[in-house]
Amino acid sequence: MESFANRYESKGKTFEPNAGHNNNTELLDHRSLGRNLGMMQQYKFFGSASFSQIQRSPLFSSLNSEDVSYFKEILGDKNVIEDEERLETANTDWMHKYKGSSKLMLLPKNTEEVSQILKYCDSRSLAVVPQGGNTGLVGGSVPVFDEVIINLSLMNKVLAFDEVSGILVCEAGCILENLATFLDTKGFIMPLDLGAKGSCHIGGNVSTNAGGLRLIRYGSLHGTVLGVEAVTANGNVLDMLGTLRKDNTGSEGSLGIVTKVSILTPPKLSSVNVAFIACNDYLSCQKILVEAKKNLGEILSAFEFLDNSSMDLVLNHLDGVRNPISSSDNFYILIETTGSDETHDREKLEAFLLKSLEKGLVSDGVIAQDINQASSFWRLREGITEALQKTGAFYKYDLSLPVEEIYNLVNDLRERLGDLANVMGYGHLGDGNLHLNISIAEYNEKVLGLIEPFVYEWTSKHRGSISAEHGLGVMKAEEIFYSKSPETVALMASIKKLLDPKGILNPYKVLPHSAFSP
């Protein structure tokens, strides 16, 4: 097993270390791309097949000078943004598919200011869009038309941390990576880890119930968020910021703007090991997942997969990356273990990999010898979206499916599109979460027509979800029936109407227009 563990170095490859997989690899340079006017003209046509059919609701008022003056009174001039360049960034999603036309961005500093903003907007029927790091993938964090942007980036304080219970209380505008850094100094970690950690806000993470890279170990935010403070559409502040582990009488999260969050964080463990292995077929990937759950059990913290198309994409478009496997293969798996006994954990991982190699499930593999090598392994997985940005146009779909069906969709879509596009599959295999990517030279109605609604119909047929962790936003609001029954959608709409009667909070998102028709 020693040769297996040390093979990484014996091949003589030089791996250029980056700052670690804590970097926000998915978001590099995405702001500068927004200045490409040619692309920006296409946003509303290629984001989704149904997006261009949305019309501005006549029930919403338009912004006037009196509105701006009021906001300056409560926020101060510098936190009422009318600058065209800053608004250009705030109006544009980072994939450059969706672009709003808001003329105003507000930067509240505390919950009271959020409350005053929403109370006023509700009285004036001014539609708003809450915004954090603007890292969403479905157009949920940018205006569709001229909605007022409420950006929570100034609400970025850690309010309390209990070093006995591990409970963190913070404001919604805290950047995920900053929280992770803070907890690291206390000997704890965030239960959530995302490729966009360097930009995304915890409020947005909670609002979308983000899954991320270590859901297999720590579960979703449903299990770690203990309470929230939120402001409803009419300006009422709901203080449900509890820190009790057992308190099941309230509702976790309402239809409003999250302003504060309390999260249960696990201790930082001393032993972290990362392996990168190659497999010949997807069936072997499934078998390895089953064996990993059995044999690594309590120390298994991540199980990620990518296909060879994804690997080729990263190798061809990102600097300083190498394939740690000596020969290419059809699939690659990244396994991370986290525990408290370095010797025991490493021996357990080595024994598992050797057993998989003997069974023919693994064709080759390496174990990282230090943190730089571990970071370079993670870079291959987390760099896929960044590499996609450098290929031209692309479509992304975030799907939950039975594990055995995941790659069947990739193969079926690949066959359907033929030479028109490059289809790639990767994601959180341990959670049944596929990130389906289609890369083409430029956005094309014909290709989009072949992708949608085929992907949604296929997913629905196999009893999957069209929104695993990225949310519905504007991209999939009209497609919700592929995953939810009409009765469920009607119930969701009734809750929306109860808490936001005028519908000013992030309109045109999540729920279909038909849900609000008389």
Q: Please tell me the distance from the alpha carbon of residue 23 to that of residue 198, in angstroms, as a whole number.
A: 6
Q: What are phi and psi of 136, to 5 degrees?
A: -65, 160
Please list the residues that pair with 434 across neighbouring strands.
399, 427
Q: Model-level pTM greater than 0.85?
A: no
More confident residue, 464 or 43: 464
Inter-residue contact 399 to 459 (CB < 8 Å):
yes
For the segment 309-330, the average pLDDT, to the nearest whole number, is 92
Which residue do the tokens 């094309």 mark?
Answer: 444
Q: Is residue 271 pLDDT above 50, yes or no?
A: yes
Model pLDDT for residues 380-403, shown as the tens digit of each residue:
999 998 999 898 899 999 898 888
Q: Please tell me the distance from the alpha carbon of residue 450 to that of residue 461, in angstroms, as a whole number.
A: 17
Provide the pLDDT for residue 124: 96
Provide the pLDDT for residue 243: 59
For the segment 103-131, the average pLDDT, to the nearest whole number, is 96
Model pLDDT for residues 414-448, shown as the tens digit of each residue:
999 999 999 999 998 887 889 999 999 888 899 99
Q: Is residue 247 pLDDT above 50, yes or no?
A: no
Model pLDDT for residues 20-66, shown as the tens digit of each residue:
333 333 333 333 333 332 333 333 334 555 556 788 999 999 999 99
Provide the pLDDT for residue 172: 94
Inter-residue contact 208 to 135 (CB < 8 Å):
no
More confident residue, 152 or 256: 152
Provide the pLDDT for residue 123: 96
Confidence band for 316, pLDDT divided at 50, 70 and 90:
very high
Q: Is residue 238 pLDDT above 50, yes or no?
A: yes
All domains of the chain in start order, with CATH: 17-31+269-386 (3.30.70.2190), 51-268+484-518 (3.30.465.10), 392-483 (3.30.70.2740)
Provide the pLDDT for residue 67: 97
Closest CA to 32 of 81, 84, 83, 96: 96
Q: Is residue 509 pLDDT above 80, yes or no?
A: yes
List % helix, strand, coil for the chain (3-state, nearest 5).
40, 20, 40
**Which contiguous run of DSSP H or E holds residue 364?**
strand 364-367
Please list the residues that pair with 99 across neighbouring strands.
92
For the segment 471-481, the average pLDDT, to the nearest whole number, is 85
Which pair of tokens denotes residue 188? 């704890």
Model pLDDT for residues 82-115, shown as the tens digit of each residue:
999 999 999 998 888 889 999 999 999 999 999 9
Q: Please tell me the distance from the alpha carbon of residue 82 to that of residue 484, in angstroms, as a whole number.
A: 39
For the segment 285-307, the average pLDDT, to the nearest whole number, is 92
More confident residue, 59 or 483: 59
Quote the DSSP letter at residue 147. P
Model pLDDT for residues 202-211, shown as the tens digit of each residue:
998 888 777 7
Confidence band for 7, pLDDT divided at 50, 70 and 90:
very low
Q: Please tell me the distance from the alpha carbon of residue 77 to that of residue 417, in angstroms, as a whole number.
A: 52
Q: Is residue 139 pLDDT above 70, yes or no?
A: yes
Which pair of tokens denotes residue 49? 């097949």
More confident residue, 335 or 192: 335
How confident is the prediction for the chain on average, in pLDDT? 83
CA 518 remoteness from chain centre: 34
Residues 6+ apart with CB under 8 A from 56: 144, 145, 146
Indicate the range of 2-16, 254-268, 379-393 predicted with least confidence.
2-16
DSSP string, 313-334: HHHHHSTT---SSSS--SEEEE
Inter-residue contact 304 to 429 (CB < 8 Å):
yes
For the segment 316-339, the average pLDDT, to the nearest whole number, is 93
For the segment 160-174, the average pLDDT, to the nearest whole number, is 86
Share of the chain above pLDDT 70, in %: 86
Inter-residue contact 226 to 243 (CB < 8 Å):
yes
| Side-chain half-sphere CA neighbours of 494 within 13 A | 6
Provide the pLDDT for residue 472: 84
